[in-house]
Amino acid sequence: MASSTILSLGSASPLALLAVSENSKVPPQKVKFGSSGLTNSFLKAKGNSSLKSQSFGRISMTVAVNVSRFEGVTMAPPDPILGVSEAFRADTNDAKLNLGVGAYRTEELQPYVLNVVKKAENLMLERGENKEYLPIEGLAAFNKVTAELLFGADNPVIREGRVATVQGLSGTGSLRLAAALIERYFPGSKVLISSPTWGNHKNIFNDAKVPWSEYRYYDPKTVGLDFDGMISDIKAAPAGSFVLLHGCAHNPTGIDPTPEQWEKIADVIQEKNHIPFFDVAYQGFASGSLDADASSVRLFAACGLELLVAQSYSKNLGLYAERIGAINVVCSSSDAAARVKSQLKRLARPMYSNPPVHGARIVANVVGDPALFNEWREEMELMAGRIKNVRQKLFDSLSAKDKSGKDWSFILKQIGMFSFTGLNKAQSENMTNKWHVYMTKDGRISLAGLSLAKCEYLADAIIDSYHNVS
């Protein structure tokens, strides 16, 4: 029986074995090994492995291929919102429009950094501020001004120290931290979420193991608010549920309750002993007024309700990548607020330890300085005004081009950076496949990604998709 020689394939790669028959008389230097095959196949004495054998003339190779311990991990589906941007970038058509992600763009459809943000960053450089760790609860100056911005500096909940404020990782991280608080201290309590809602809300509560159900919100017949359905579902929920509300510029519909409807919602929540939980992502960016956009939250606080409010500065200060926001918990006493804050810190510590400092300092500088604050309000009014102009132009274009008599006025009744077009999934797919307009499949478009010059093109796409796709 012929003996065989065992060759090692190099100490730098995983161990693989090659058995070469000595009868082949092939000199070792004539046997070449490519870098792609054998270096990725290796034999382990233990573990999941299988043998593969292949012959090349009189040279026989036997290689053990290790099976990954992660074979059971499936490919996750693309994110329904962020995946839109990935598809948009791959499209080479010049007419393409990205109306999926809610990020402000200039009339030239370019990202915009606020001038007041640049000034705040220059101040930081001049002061030579360091990059030391923040406390778990975040930057004290940020926590102070963000709570005052939300509730008003003279609000009794601020004066009496009844707000527990912890800096979070923008709106998403703040919501997640609040969800962890609910799961730990209100076990079994359900969160009521509007139908429809921002795509990540359900993910956040699922991940935190907090049960949720939906309440009616959008009425497809009127492309407006199903107020009666909303009130009925809130009343029917188990007492002590958390009711997730959008403080202003409801995402994705752009449909907000009227001031009178907000009062009714507050009354029903109070009657049912529910806990309101606001998501405020667009303060000042929806209407152009910081006070008007916080009026719903302030109304509930004035009713004496304990409540949670998640904040984000991604939109109104354009700090998308800085991940800056906060979770605020309004309590009935300062003592309760201190205890809640201590537990929020306890939850944050193993989750992310402490928050980033750069964005927090920007907010503290802008909101805390009267001159910069006034400049910020002016810039916000300009951004909100551009979106209002685009909204009006889109309505005008639809009304002029659509000869069917359809009423498109719901577009003007909506508010904020989004418009809920009423298009279904098939119609939304036609918008993308035929017209290269990238949007979420629920029919939501981001007007912040639209320019006045593109409104007529978008109107053509919407009319075609609405009338010609069932």
Does the annotation count 198 as an active-site position? Answer: yes
Query: What residues pair up with 437 in beta bridges, in sequence order?
Result: 97
Does the annotation count 52 as an active-site position? Answer: no
> Which one of the listed residues 226, 233, 256, 279 is annotated catalytic?
279
> Which one of the listed residues 315, 341, 393, 454 is annotated catalytic?
315
d(C-alpha 287, C-alpha 386), whole Å: 11
Greatest Cα pair distance in the chain: 96
Q: What are the CA-CA distances from residue 239 to residues 181, 191, 226, 233, 333 (Å)?
A: 18, 11, 22, 12, 22
> Which one of the listed residues 198, 212, 376, 408 is annotated catalytic?
198
d(C-alpha 348, C-alpha 440), whole Å: 32
Coil, helix or strand for 25?
coil
Does the annotation count 79 as an active-site position? Answer: no
Phi first, then psi: give them for residue 105, nearest 5 degrees: -130, 155
Structure tokens at 301: 């606080």
* Cβ pair 35, 14 in contact under 8 A: no
End-to-end CA distance of the chain: 75
Rounded CA Rg of the chain:
29
DSSP code per residue over 227-280: HHHHHHHHHHSPTT-EEEEESSS-TTT-----HHHHHHHHHHHHHTT-EEEEEE
The residues that are catalytic are 198, 279, 315
